Amino acid sequence: MRAILSAALLLVATSTWADLVKVSEATDTVYYLDPASISDKGKFHRVSVIQDYAKQEPSGARSRRVLYEIDCTEERLRSIAGTEHSDSMAQGNSVNSWERASEWLYVASRTGSNIASRTPYRPILKFVCSR
């Protein structure tokens, strides 16, 4: 499983910046989605997202590439793997990486959602689920 996720991240990493779509912007982070990375895995979709930071993080990371798993029916997502990079746009040396599924984050605008209404995750889910 670990080898499969690593291979998926490497394949996604070969995309050019021109193919990326800016889906959200927070105070200090811009989120870019790679439409070519969207894939179906049963009832779930997977997508690669770059989080580009305005300033270098204390860990030395300037950006992060995260592979998300999205459940359009339940309107939720979770990260399943990621790599932090020393340069912007997921370039430079790898500072940190992980392969583990996070808890599901429910992003629907409904009572009981555990995500704030202005989160960057809603546009990611909306983009992927609209295809």
pLDDT higher than 90, residue 117: no
The contacts of residue 48 (CB under 8 Å, 6+ apart) are: 9, 12, 15, 33, 34, 37, 65, 66, 67, 68
Mean pLDDT of 62-76: 94
Q: What ranges do the domains of the chain cover? A: 2-129
pLDDT higher than 50, residue 46: yes
- What CATH architecture is 2-129? Beta Barrel (2.40)
Percentage with pLDDT > 70 across the chain: 78
